[in-house]
Amino acid sequence: MNGERILVIKLSALGDFVQATGAMKAIRRTHPGARLTLLTTAPFAAMGEATGWFDEVWSDGRPEWSDLASTARLIGRLRAARFDRVYDLQCQGRTNRYFQLLWPHRPPWSGNAPGAAMSYREPDRNRLHIQDLWVKQLALAGITDVPPPDLSWLVGDAARFAIAGPYALMAPGGAAHRPAKRWPAPSFGDLAVRLLGQGITPVVVGHGAEEAALAQVILTAAPGAVSLVGKTSIADIAGLARGAALAVGNDTGPVHVIAAAGCPTLVLFSAESNPAMSAPRPVRPDQPVAILREADLADLDVDRVWAAAGDLSRAG
């Protein structure tokens, strides 16, 4: 309906934001004449604006609860906006509390907040893949066509890196506070040697000093590899993914970007996360996306990864 004021909530993290882009696109298609606002956090504000689906992006979506003034400002801002509908794609205790704090004038709310008009709280909620969960949640709000993640709007300048010949992306990093989600850097180095032997240049992506150190381990083992750690934007990673022969990486945000950009992708999971609920999925029918899971990634043999990467390359 023209003139509707719609709020979409997605606060973080990178992989989750990427997975939510299909749901965001579906919401925009359902409300073509509405004024859509995205409530997010500062790291994702530019991405929200770049989608082209939102008329306004708020980046103050996660004040510390101890910061009573900032929390009060956010709730006051939500009240003053008088949204006609809210789509909560974060669905955490925090955003459920936002719903409660809007009493007594709560807008129709799609999420899992108790008492919300369009609350999906079925027992299977915590067993569903996040994309399937949003399909069921949005169906309660009348949205029945939710596409895969869409990063067509995320365009970087991959050409400036001048990577010659076929190349494979490698993402050896991950959240610093969850080191168990990382396949050991020497194993990535062994894989890089094998890729070079097949005429494929390994290109390491990531950010920060810790991931730069991981890249150096790989380059020491495979001097023909290339490190772009700290040199790429998220958009650049998407651009590189569109030209890559394949990608291998841990369950981390950049890998979700790579897979959602359409690259044949092998994702390595440990016991720290469940691929049945959060693994990247193909965004087109001919895109291979494969998963290897080992409780302790230190026990994941390079031969298994090499075989899976070969299958991925042939399928792609």
Q: How many independent structural domains does the chain possess?
A: 2
Same domain, 308 and 166: yes
Residue 314 has pLDDT above 80, yes or no: no
Mean pLDDT of 89-96: 96
Q: Is 229 domain-assigned?
A: yes
Same domain, 123 and 198: no
Same domain, 227 and 123: no
Chain-centre distance of CA 314, in angstroms?
26
Beta strands in 42-117 (DSSP E): 56-58, 85-88, 109-111
Same domain, 310 and 260: yes
Q: Which residue has the tokens 């990673």?
A: 237
Residue 266 has pLDDT above 80, yes or no: yes
The CA distance from 73 to 78, in Å, is 9
Query: Of 110, 139, 168, which residue sits at a domain end?
Result: 139
Same domain, 166 and 128: no
Same domain, 294 and 203: yes
SS3 letters across 228-255: CCCCCCHHHHHHHHHHCCEEEEECCHHH
pTM: 0.95
Q: Is 145 domain-assigned?
A: no
Mean pLDDT of 91-97: 96
Same domain, 198 and 228: yes
Mean pLDDT of 121-137: 91
Residue 24 has pLDDT above 80, yes or no: yes
* Banded model confidence at residue 316, pLDDT cuts 50, 70, 90: low
Q: Is 247 domain-assigned?
A: yes
**In the structure encoding, which two tokens stand for residue 194, read together?**
């094998």
Q: Any idea what the CATH number is for the domain that residue 289 is in?
A: 3.40.50.2000
Phi, psi (rounded to 5 degrees) for 55: -85, -20
| Residues of the domain holding 169 | 159-315
